[in-house]
């Protein structure tokens, strides 16, 4: 049994796509709701960025990590859930709370419904029509964070 967290290494095509989407989003052009996530690096303390797909479910906003425990997930955990979402010059500071596996199925279903065309490859054949039991079964491999607006004191 493997107890290490699930992580899917990005392939060249994924890196190219993320770089392309990130550049457009930094210019203020959102690709189907994309934002650029900025979070402080857990070792360097420097801002790190990554394009992400925020999702709103039942009035709450979420970030889902389809590739598992990525660097941005580790950095967000180490930064006590503080970060920023940006599109162009617009900056949205937030505080993130990681949700429990039992709370993930509805969010994962909505995420797959909206983003499967882009991230489906990371879900090993699971889609939005999967049973609650199936979604709960995969939940530990997909970190999910609920976002709340935060005020910035600079």
Note the pLDDT tens digit of each residue in 29-69: 888 889 999 999 999 999 999 999 999 999 999 999 999 99
Rounded distance, CA 75 to CA 56, Å?
Answer: 22
For the chain, percent of residues with pLDDT exceeding 70: 96
CATH number at residue 28: 2.30.110.10
DSSP code, position 64? E
Residue 80 belongs to some domain of the structure: yes
- For the question of whether the overall pTM of this predicted structure is more than 0.75, the answer is yes
> Would you say residue 94 lies in a domain?
yes
6 part of a folded domain = no
Q: Which domain holds residue 82?
A: 12-149
Q: Is the pLDDT of residue 123 over 80?
A: yes
DSSP code of 41? Answer: -
Q: Which of 68, 67, 53, 69 is nearest to 14 (CA)?
A: 67
Q: How many domains does the chain have?
A: 1
Least confident range from 2-11, 79-88, 94-103, 134-143: namely 2-11
Whether the CB-CB separation of 94 and 83 falls below 8 Å is answered with yes
Q: Over the stretch 62-106, which tens digit does the pLDDT of each residue have?
A: 999 999 999 999 999 999 999 999 999 999 999 999 999 999 999
107 falls within a domain: yes
Residues 6+ apart with CB under 8 A from 108: 64, 135, 138, 139, 142, 144
- C-alpha torsion sign, points 119, 45, 139, 147: negative
Q: Let me know if residue 154 belongs to a domain.
A: no
Structural domain includes residue 69: yes
Task: Give residue 30's pLDDT.
Answer: 87
In a domain, 7, yes or no: no
Is residue 5 assigned to a domain?
A: no
pLDDT winner (highest mean) among 9-23, 28-42, 68-82, 116-130: 68-82
C-alpha pair distances (Å), 51 with each of 81, 87, 138, 152 = 17, 10, 23, 21
Q: Averaging pLDDT over each range in 14-23, 110-119, 129-138, which range is the top one?
A: 129-138
């Amino acid at each position: 049994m493997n107890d290490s967290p699930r992580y899917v290494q990005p392939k060249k095509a994924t890196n190219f796509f993320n770089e392309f989407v990130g550049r457009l989003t930094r210019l203020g052009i959102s690709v189907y709701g994309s934002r650029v996530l900025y979070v402080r690096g857990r070792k360097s303390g420097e801002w790190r960025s990554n394009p992400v797909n925020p999702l709103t479910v039942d009035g709450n906003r979420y970030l889902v990590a389809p590739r598992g425990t990525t660097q941005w997930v580790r950095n967000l955990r180490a930064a006590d859930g503080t970060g920023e979402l940006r599109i162009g010059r617009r900056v949205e500071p937030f505080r993130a709370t990681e949700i429990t596996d039992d709370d993930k199925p509805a969010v994962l279903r909505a995420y797959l419904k909206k983003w499967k065309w882009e991230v489906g490859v990371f879900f090993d054949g699971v889609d939005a029509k999967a049973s609650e039991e199936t979604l709960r079964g995969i939940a530990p491999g997909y970190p999910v964070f609920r976002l709340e607006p935060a005020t910035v004191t600079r």
